[in-house]
Amino acid sequence: MDKKEQILASALKLFVEFGFHGTPTSKIAKEAGVSNGTLFHYFATKEDLIKELYITIKNDLNQFLFSKITPEDGVETIIKKVFIYFIYWALDNREKNHYIQQVLFSPHIFQISESVLMEQSQKHIQLIEEAKATKIIKDLPTDLIYTLANSHLMGIYNYVVNLPPDAQKPIIENGFEMLWDMLTEQK
């Protein structure tokens, strides 16, 4: 791990444990085993560090999710894979998932450019648009569907996070079915 990666890993650990205000950059540098000057060489401000860590985690998450998709997958299968693999990613990467939520529900999210945030959600939005265009899901506002899906994902995650692994899988599967029932026209 290079120095920048050490700083990011230490920042993740400390921000999740102590919050943004409870984590001075000097504490991050010490945890990473680098000088304050080295930290500021890579990140001009603490805000820059917070933003880059968020963007890095979100990009890694999206890369992971969409690496599970095959050209043969239909829209419903893709949506199901994104849902299920997100939950398993969050369970396997609890600190990172916590950090994403921490930033989303803080003023720091407003420091990230709209274009970066749009780029991160672009594939998800396109997937919703495709599902709407092919009438697979209801023709509701895309941002409403995106918000409902994200809220549902986090609800399922929060429910299963402390369950034993063998109890998680059926809840995750049923959680997707509940989301799908909400988004699709009932026959």
Q: What is the pLDDT of residues 67-121, one digit of tens each?
A: 999 999 999 999 999 999 999 999 999 999 999 999 999 999 999 999 999 999 9
The matching CATH number, chosen from 3.90.190.20, 1.10.357.10, 3.90.650.10, 2.60.40.420, for 47-183 is 1.10.357.10
- Whether the pLDDT of residue 20 is over 70: the answer is yes
53 Cβ contact partners less than 8 Å away, ≥ 6 residues apart = 8, 11, 12, 15, 99
Give the architecture-level CATH label for domain 1-44. Orthogonal Bundle (1.10)
Q: Any idea of the CA torsion for 75, 77, 83, 86, to the nearest 10 degrees?
A: -110
At 38 the pLDDT is 98
Q: What is the pTM of this model?
A: 0.93
- Name the nearest CA neighbour of 97 among 172, 153, 166, 168: 153
At 1 the pLDDT is 84
CA-to-CA distance for 53 and 35, rounded, in angstroms?
19
- DSSP three-state, residue 24: coil
* Mean local confidence (pLDDT), 12-18: 99
Residues 32-67: tens digit of each pLDDT: 999 999 999 999 999 999 999 999 999 999 999 999
CA-to-CA distance for 45 and 57, rounded, in angstroms?
19
b or e along 16-37 (b: 16 or more beta carbons within 10 Å of the residue's beta carbon)? beeebeebebeebbebbebeee
CA-to-CA distance for 18 and 53, rounded, in angstroms?
16
At 163 the pLDDT is 97
- pLDDT-based confidence at residue 187 (cuts at 50, 70, 90): low
Q: For the chain, which residues make up each domain, given as ranges?
A: 1-44, 47-183
CA-to-CA distance for 100 and 136, rounded, in angstroms?
29
Mean pLDDT, the chain, rounded, equals 96
